[in-house]
Each structure stands twice: as C-alpha cells, then as structure tokens.
Structure 1
Amino acid sequence: MAKFIITCDEATTICDKSQYGEATLFEKIKLNAHFILCKICGLYSKQNTKMTEIYKMKAHDCKNEQHCLSSEEKEHLKKELQESEA
C-alpha cells in the first residue's frame, strides 16, 4: 500500500505528465489514489486541465492570425540593432 502513497510534489509532477500523455498507468493510479486524500491536488488537476484547454484554444486562434512585421517595422528594427551594436 505504501507504493501508492505519494507527496503533493510528486502528484503535481504526475498531473503535468498526464496532461501531455507522458504518465504511466501506475503513475495515474497513484495520482488518483492521492486525489482521494488530497482535495487541493485534485483542484490543481482540474485547474491545470482547464488552463491547457484555454491555451489550446488560444493557440488555434493564433494560427489564423498573421504574425509578420511590415517592411517599415523590419527597417526600424534593423536600425535599432545596428545602433545597439555601435
């Protein structure tokens, strides 16, 4: 039974790994056992999942936007870099 007891630090690490599909089945079992005892880590997991969803939505939105500098902005940046090197 002691193999299933983990600290909150270990739980958050496993939670983060689980979000990206990197946690093993045994780690997930230990994490869920920890959630029974620690409601704070359960809340962390829920918040972490929600933040990941929000970031994924934002990343999807950003792909649709153009992120290029105009010619004027490029020239201005080039001048600033040259001035800082001098």
Structure 2
Amino acid sequence: MNTEDTRRKSCQKASLICDKVQYQEATFFEKTKLLFHVLMCRMCRKYTQQNKKLTQSINKAQVTCMQKQEKETLKETLSRAIQEQQS
C-alpha cells in the first residue's frame, strides 16, 4: 500500500470520528486521535472547522419538527385535495 492510500484511509477515519464528535458519540480516545490528526492534516482541519460551524448553525436555528399526528393530518388533507382535483 502506498503512502497516498494510507493517508486517504487515515483522513477517512478522521472524518468519521469528526462526524461522531458532532453527534456526541465519540470516545475520549477517538477525540484524542482526531486532535493529533487535525494538527498535521490541513484538509481534515478545514473539514472539522466546517463541521463545527454546521453544528452551531443547526443548534442556533432551533428547528422543530412536526408531530406525528400533524404529519398524518397534513397527509390526509393533501390526499383529499389531490382526489378532488382528479375528479
């Protein structure tokens, strides 16, 4: 295996850990590995920074989802409207 393949696999692992950090699923050991990798890899450092910005933006947006009952009601309303248009 050449150096480029090794580096690519290392970066793939780092991006996976970065994503786990975003969802608070990374272990202390994984976070430490990511820190050392990011110190040496400019591409992964940029990916990590962008991932942090994305997480902050999502958290700041305070997006709420529709409740299951609301979705069902909307679905039924749309189905009825479509049927009326086709009739």
| Normalised TM-score (structure 1) | 0.65
The answer for the alignment partner of 1:19 in structure 2 is 22
- Return the alpha-carbon distance in structure 2 between the equivalents of residues 14 and 31 of structure 1: 7
The answer for the alignment partner of 1:71 in structure 2 is none
The answer for the alignment partner of 1:43 in structure 2 is 46
- 1:33 equivalent in alignment to 2:39: no
Q: What percent of counterpart residues are identical?
A: 35
- Return the alpha-carbon distance in structure 1 between the equivalents of residues 56 and 32 of structure 2: 23
User: CA 1:11–1:83 in 2, change beyond 3 Å: closer, same or farther?
Assistant: same
Matched pairs, number: 70
Q: Which blocks of at least 5 consecutive residues in structure 1 are unaligned?
A: 69-73
Residues 1-86 of structure 1: pairs in structure 2 closer than 5 A: 7-58=10-61, 60=62, 62-63=63-64, 74=77, 77-81=79-83
After TM superposition, which residue ranges in structure 1, 4 or more long, deviate above 4 angstroms?
A: 81-84
Once superposed, what is the RMSD of the aligned Cα atoms?
A: 2.9
Q: Cα offset for 1:47?
A: 0.6
- Return the alpha-carbon distance in structure 2 between the equivalents of residues 81 and 9 of structure 1: 49
Counterpart residue type for residue 47 of structure 2: Y
